[in-house]
Amino acid sequence: MCCRPSVYLRANAVPDEKIGRAEDDWVEGLQDRVIRDMEKVYSTRVMELWKNPQNAGSLDYPDGYGQVTGPCGDTMQIWLRVREDVVVEATFWTDGCGTSVVCASMATIMAKDRTLEQAARIDQQSVLDELGGLPEEDRHCALLAANTLREAIGCVRPELTKNRAERSAPPGTAT
Ligand code: FES
């Protein structure tokens, strides 16, 4: 009961657009505080990818596809386009946490323009290194990204895993 008069007064005294602006300012201030708190814990690279994720989405007719559900219950999917043994496109989707989006962004960035063999060597640690590290409780998100990438690479058709020289070499001569 005691707050009614002030709500009434405020609602009558302040035009709607000003209330809206005050709420917007409050939300903006809150967002700024959340971001400042996050910047104390996460690297600049993590923050960049958190604000601006890369390679989100699926690919039509992918050459490689992986889907993995981690122990946390979150699922990640990665799609690959491969040309002459090189990953030319890598995209992802996840229903996981913000850090899983960051890790999937990084794993797909790292996979692009690498041979399948090089991309298959991307592991949890290399994702963490590229991100400048993650707090202990978020490190498993990098493992989910690396495992999903490997799953996608693992299902690429064998004929796409050879480079042009290997494909044109007579049988038994390719290294
Ligand atoms: Fe599940 Fe981050 S908490 S992937």
Residue 169 inside a domain? The answer is no
Residue 64 tokens read as 């490689």
Ligand 1 mean position, distance from CA 13 (Å): 47
Range of the domain at 21: 4-41
Residue 69 inside a domain? The answer is yes
C-alpha neighbours within 13 Å on the C-beta side of residue 50 = 16
Residue 171 inside a domain? The answer is no
Whether the predicted model's global pTM rises above the 0.85 cut: no
Residue 167 inside a domain? The answer is no
Residue 56 and residue 139 in one domain: yes
Which atom of ligand 1 approaches the CA of 76 most closely? Answer: 4
Residue 17 and residue 79 in one domain: no
Query: Domain containing 62 — which CATH number?
Result: 3.90.1010.10
Strand order in the sheet with 64-69: 64-69, 75-83, 86-94
Residue 30 and residue 103 in one domain: no
- If one residue of 99, 102, 106 were mutated to test the ligand 1 pocket, choosing by the most ligand atoms within 8 A of its CB, it would be 99
Name the closest-CA residue to atom 3, ligand 1. Answer: 97
Out of 2, 3, 72, 155, pick the active-site residue: 72
Please give the pLDDT value at position 64.
97
Judging by DSSP bridges, how do beta strands 86-94 and 64-69 pair with one another? unpaired
Beta bridge partners of 92: 56, 78
Ligand 1 mean position, distance from CA 102 (Å): 11
Please give the pLDDT value at position 30.
87
Residue 96 and residue 24 in one domain: no
Verify whether residue 72 is a known catalytic residue: yes
Residue 67 and residue 152 in one domain: yes
Residue 141 inside a domain? The answer is yes
**Mean pLDDT by 10-residue block, N- to C-terminus, for the chain (175 residues)?**
37 63 86 89 96 97 97 97 96 96 98 97 98 97 98 90 61 50
Please give the pLDDT value at position 168.
59
Verify whether residue 3 is a known catalytic residue: no
Ligand 1 mean position, distance from CA 169 (Å): 44
Residue 32 and residue 83 in one domain: no
Please give the pLDDT value at position 166.
63
Residue 67 and residue 149 in one domain: yes
Residue 105 and residue 134 in one domain: yes
Q: State how far the Cα of 145 lies from the Cα of 174, in Å rounded to an integer.
A: 32
Number of separate domains in the chain = 2
Which atom of ligand 1 approaches the CA of 98 most closely? Answer: 2
Residue 174 inside a domain? The answer is no
Residue 172 inside a domain? The answer is no
Residue environment code for 89-127, b if the CB has 16+ CB neighbours within 10 A, otherwise e: bbbbbbebebbbbbbbbbbbebbbebebeebbebbbeeb
